Amino acid sequence: MIRQTDFFLEGDRRGVLLIHGLTGTPTEMRMLGKGLNRAGFTVHGMQLAGHCGDAEDLLATDWRDWYASVERAADALRAKVDHLFVGGLSMGALLALKLAAERPDDIAGVGVYGATFRYDGWSIPWKARLSFVLPLIKRLGIARERMFIEQPPYGLRDERLRAQVSAAMNSGDSTLAGLPGNPWHSLADLRRLSKEVRRQLGDVVAPCLVAHASEDDVASVRNARLVIRRVSAPAQLLLLDDSYHMITIDRQRRTLIDHSVRFFNTIAPARRATALAG
């Protein structure tokens, strides 16, 4: 059964929509969200369709459902703010870029965190790199129950946090740290989404902060450089040398928060409170 785990942090008229990754949860965006909120931003850490339940809940959805849930969340937040930013981690970064490409008049800036167009990090086994066959497997309707089980280091350089996340993933409660693996059919949809977003990168005209771990275990820096190279917008590259894939919660999360706050502030500065005359 799917449980609702999204969060909303009230701030000023500048909003940030945060999008978690495939099989993840809004929890992986919460520390970033709190940091942005302390800087004045209104933040919604959304929950993607089909997530925070079991594998069957996820398999009942595809990438179009995930993106549709992003659009609904963006519409709701846009109604509350004057400036709307969007940021996403891993697959969430692809969904954020797609939103920016399709809604250039609505999105003021994009946080592209650990973008994953391809699983090509140093910890990915060779079998998992054969993902190009997964769309065919899904079309044939076979291997629906199969999944790639997550392996250490789980995107985390911080060993203490890694142990906590590992325990949470294997607890049976997917709201804590997501599912323990990625269903093959869901990975097939990620590949379709990746292909779609690659085609749309040139339509992204909102400024982008592209943050990536220099030793990303899941998705190499080539993913970040693809974004820098293809978007039509000004893009800043932030490489983090003491984190792995989950940069929103790993060792340099405060660095990521600080850079995100500064980046969004340069686009939409906080308004100074006007003192009332006595």
Residue 70 and residue 60: Cα distance in Å, rounded? 17
Nearest to residue 65, comparing CAs of 204, 203, 186? 186
Q: Is residue 1 part of a domain?
A: no
Sheet containing 235-240: which strands, arranged edge to edge? Answer: 7-9, 42-45, 14-19, 83-89, 107-113, 208-213, 235-240
Q: Is residue 197 part of a domain?
A: yes
Q: Is residue 45 part of a domain?
A: yes
Q: Is residue 240 part of a domain?
A: yes
Tell me the pLDDT band of 129, cut-offs 50, 70 and 90. Answer: low
Nearest to residue 7, comparing CAs of 67, 85, 55, 16? 16
Instruction: Compute CA 72 distance to the chain's CA centroid, rounded to the nearest angstrom.
Output: 16
Tell me the pLDDT band of 275, cut-offs 50, 70 and 90. Answer: very low
Q: Is residue 253 part of a domain?
A: yes
Q: Is residue 99 a contact partner of residue 203, using CB atoms and an 8 Å limit?
A: no
Spell out where 99-146 has E strands. Answer: 107-113
| Whole-number pLDDT of residue 66 | 98
* pLDDT tens track for 26-43: 999 999 999 999 999 999
CATH of the domain at 41: 3.40.50.1820
Domain count along the chain: 1
| Whole-number pLDDT of residue 137 | 81
Q: Is residue 73 part of a domain?
A: yes
Nearest to residue 139, comparing CAs of 99, 180, 189, 86? 189
DSSP class of residue 245 equals S
Q: What is the mean pLDDT of the chain?
A: 92
Mean pLDDT value of segment 240-265: 98
| Whole-number pLDDT of residue 273 | 41
Q: Does the pLDDT of residue 171 top 90, yes or no?
A: no
Token pair in block for residue 273: 């409170």
Burial 69-98 (b: 16+ CB within 10 A, else e): bbeebbeebbeebebbbbbbbbbbbbbbbb
* pLDDT tens track for 206-216: 999 999 999 99
Token pair in block for residue 104: 């250039």
Q: Is residue 209 a contact partner of residue 256, using CB atoms and an 8 Å limit?
A: no
Q: Which domain holds residue 86?
A: 7-266
Residue 93 and residue 101: Cα distance in Å, rounded? 12
Q: Is residue 232 part of a domain?
A: yes
Q: Is residue 69 a contact partner of residue 48, using CB atoms and an 8 Å limit?
A: yes
pLDDT top residue among 248 and 132: 248
Residue 203 and residue 193: Cα distance in Å, rounded? 16
Q: Do the bridges between strand 235-240 and strand 42-45 make them parallel or antiparallel, or are there none, so unpaired?
A: unpaired
